[in-house]
A and B are shown apart, each in its own frame.
Chain A
Amino acid sequence: MAHRIVDKEKLSENVYRMEIEAKYVAEAREPGQFVLIAYDNDRSERIPLTIADVDLDKGTITVIFQAVGKSTIEFASLNVGDSFDAVAGPLGNPTDIEKYGKVVCVGGGIGNAPLYPIVKALKQAGNEVISILGARNKELLILEEQFKEISDEIITVTDDGSYGRKALVTEPLGELCSKGEIDLCVAIGPAIMMKFCCQTTKKYDIPTIVSLNSIMVDGTGMCGGCRVEVGGETKFTCVDGPEFDGHKVDFDQLIKRLGSYKKYEQQAAAEHNCKLEGKL
C-alpha cells in the first residue's frame, strides 16, 4: 500500500511537516502514538515518528520531523505526490488523558511536534495548560502559533536569546514549580532536556511524564532494541511506552544507547550528502 504525501511545509531550518495518506492509522490513532515509516521497503530503515495530527475526513496523518540523518534527510527531499512504502501504526500506548488540573507542558526543539497533540487533548479534557517551548535559536522554534491557540499561557525560550527569553526550559519550569499549584508536568524533547526537566520537577515532587525516543526496529515488542531502564526494570519503549514516569527513567543510559550507531550514521549521511551534492 503506497502512502501518498498530500501536503508538505518547511517549518524551520531542517524541520518539515508532512501530511500523508494513511486511512487506518488515522482512524485508530490516539494522542501520544507514533508510526514507523519507511520510504522504500527494500532498502529503507523504519523510522519512528509521532503522529502530530490526523484528518479523519481526508484519511491522513501529519508528522513533523527534523532532518538529522540519512533517512530523515531523504524524507525531507520528498514532495507532494511522492509516496512512502510503509506507514505502520499507530504504535505505542496513548497518553493517559485526564483532568489533572494545572499542567505544564515543556517542549524542546523537535519535541514540540510530539507534544502538540498531547497539549491539545489535555486542554480538551479541561486542564489548564501552560506551555514552555524551547529551541536553540529562533529559527528552530516550531509550532508556536499552534500552541498559542490551545494553551492558557505560553512561555518561549531560546538558548541564544534570539527569540523570547534567553534561557533553558528548565528555568521557567523551576519558577513555575516553586510557585506550587502544578499538578503534572509533561516534557518532550532531547533526552538531555527531559533529564534536566525531571531533575527540576523531582525537587518539588511534581509527577512528570516523558516520551522517549529510543532507536527502534519493529515497534511491536519483537526485537528489544528500544529497551530502557525505568525504575530499575528493563522496559520496551514501543510496547510499554513511549511515555514513562520521568522520575524513574535512566536517561544516561538512554542517551548512550541513542549513540549506538553514530559511527555508521555519520558514514551514511556523509555518503548520502556527497551523492546529493553530486546531483546539484
Chain B
Amino acid sequence: MKSNMELLKELMEKEAAGELTNKERMKIPQQPMPEQDPNERRSNINEVALGYTEEQARIEAMRCLDCKNAPCIEGCPVQIDIRSFVKQIADGKFTEALDTIKQTSLLPAVCGRVCPQETQCQETCTLGKVMKDPMKAVSIGRLERYVADRCAEQSESPKVAEDTGKKVAIVGSGPGGLVAAADCRRAGHKVTVFEAFHKPGGVLMYGIPEFRLPKELVAKEIETLKQMDVEIMCNFIIGKTRSISQLMNEDGYDAMFLAVGAGLPRFMNIPGENLIGVYSANEYLTRANLMNAYKFGSESDTPIIRGGKVAVIGGGNVAMDAARTALRLGAESVKLIYRRTEKEMPARIEEIHHAKEEGVEVNILKSPIEYKGDEEGWVKSMVCQSFELGEPDDSGRRRPVPIEGSEEEFEIDTVIVAIGNKANPLLRRATPELEYNKWGNINIGENCETNLPGVYAGGDAALGAATVILAMGHGRTAAKAINDYLAEKS
C-alpha cells in the first residue's frame, strides 16, 4: 500500500504533467474520515470524527472534476463557490480556500460538521452521480471542515464599517441570529443579541452534542462577535423581559431579526407519556449538553436519569443525538424506534451509521402506543405496534399502516421522545400583532420580512425544524434586507 504522502506526490506529478484526466481522478480512492473507535467513543463525549490530514484533504480535493457548470454550488443552500475552494485545497492554498467559503458562509467549522451534504451539495455533485451514490461524491463537507479547522487561528474578525447610529436587535442566538448579528454589525449598526438561555449558541449549544460539534467552536464564533462589539444579553426573554414593541418603540431599536428557533416539543398523546423517565429530546439534550448533566455531582447541579434500558422514539438527527447521548450517559441498551424504514429516516446517513456502530439497536416499522409505569410513577415498559408501508403520503414518503394484533411489550427505564417540535407559544402570545402561517410559524416574505415594519424573522422560527445552513441563509438574507432598510431610512 502506498502511503498518502506517496499518493499525493504521484498525483501532483501527474497533475503537473497534465495527465490527471477525469478518468484518472475518478480512480482516486475516496478518503475516509478518521474516527474514534466505536467501542471507545461510546463512553466519552469527545468528538467522533477527527478530521482529515493535509495529505488526505488534498487527495480528496483532487477527486473533483472541476465541472464547468459546478452543479454542487446549486445544491448548496447558500451557494458557496465549492468548485473554487475545492480546487484551492487541491493546490494547497488553504487560507485562500477558507476566504472563498467565508464570502458566503460565516460558520464553516460548524457547517462542515453538521450540514446534511448528502442531500445538498454532494447530492448534485457530478462525481456522486457517476458513482451513483452521493456518499461517494467529493467529500465537500469534510474539506470545508478541514480548512476551517486548519486556518481557525489565522482568520481575524471581520471589519466593521463606521458607526451609523442605528440600532438592531437580534432575538435568539442560534446560527440564524449569529450570522445576522455579524452582518448587521459589519454594516456599522449597533447590534444587541437577546438570548433566553444563559449561554448563546441556540441549538448549536443545547441540542447538538459535544461529540458531534465541540462547544469550543461555537464559543469561538461568539467570541468573534464580541470582538466586533456585538452586545450579547443572556437570560433575556423577548416577549417576557421586554416586548417587541418596547424594543422598537421605547428602546430605540430601528430594526429587529427574530430567530427564536422551533420551540415546543411534540408528544404523541398516548397513555403513560407523563410518567417519570419519559423525556422530550429537547429536555434530555438540554440537560446533558447545556446544563452539563453528565458531570452531575462534580461540576454540574442539574441531574439527568442515567443508565438502564433506553428507548428513543423518532428517526431524525435529534433522535440519533439523543440515542448516542444516552449511550454516553451509561445506558445499558438503547433502542431506536421508528415508524417507517431506514430509507425514510430524516437523519443524516452518517449519523445513523455512527449510531449503529456504537451499539444503538435500530427498530424500524414500530411505534409505541402506550407506556406503563410502577406505583411510584416511573416508566417500566412500553407497548409497541408494528407497521407496514402503504401508499406515499403528502410528503412523498410511504405511509406506515399499523398491523393488527402486532403489539409487543418491552421493558424500559427511560424514553426519549424525538418526534419534532411545534412553534413556541411564548413570543406569539406576547405579540398578537405578528402574523403566523397555518403551521404556526412566523410568516415571512422573500427577504425575511414580517408584517411588522422593521421586523424580520427566519431560521426554524419561520421554517419549522430545518437546518443550520438554512437558518444561516436566512440570517444573511435578513441582515441584507435590514441593512438596505436602514440605509433607506436615513
Contact = CB atoms under 8 A, between A and B. Distances in A.
A43 B299 contact: yes
B300 interface: yes
Contacts of B235: 1, 36, 86-88
A278 interface: no
Contact of B267 (A1, A85, A221, A224): A224
Contacts of A260: 276-277, 305
Given A24-B236, A87-B235, A234 B273 contact: yes
Interface in A9-39: 24-25, 28, 36, 38
Contacts of A25: 241
Interface in B420-445: 424-426, 429
A45 interface: yes
A223 B242 contact: no
Contacts, number: 129
A46 interface: yes
Contact of A223 (B261, B283, B292, B299): B283
Contact of B291 (A90, A217, A236): A217
A63 to B, nearest CB: 15
Nearest to A70: B301
B286 A90 contact: no
A221 B425 contact: yes
Contacts of B302: 45-46, 217
- Chain B, interface SS category: loop
Nearest to A90: B240
A89 B198 CA distance: 12
Contacts of A87: 235
A234 B264 contact: no
B296 A264 contact: yes
Nearest to B282: A223
A268 B301 CA distance: 8
B241 A90 contact: yes
Interface in B446-477: none
Given A1-B234, A217-B287, A223-B286, A89 B301 contact: no
A218 interface: yes
Interface residues of A, number: 46
Nearest to A39: B301
Contacts of A271: 297
B377 interface: yes
B71 interface: no
B265 interface: yes
Interface string B251-273: 00000000001011101010001
B265 A222 contact: yes
Nearest to B377: A256
Nearest to A216: B283
Contact of B241 (A28, A44, A225): A28
A24 B241 contact: yes
B426 A45 contact: no
B98 to A, nearest CB: 31
A44 B276 contact: no
A220 B301 contact: no
Contacts of A70: 301
Nearest to A229: B274
Given A36-B235, A43-B300, A261-B303, 9 more contacts: A43-B292, A46-B291, A88-B241, A90-B241, A218-B196, A220-B424, A234-B267, A234-B274, A268-B303
6 contacts: A28-B242, A41-B234, A220-B240, A222-B263, A222-B424, A234-B274
Interface of B: 196-199, 233-237, 240-242, 261, 263-265, 267, 269, 273-274, 276-277, 279-280, 282-283, 286-287, 291-292, 296-297, 299-303, 305, 376-377, 424-426, 429
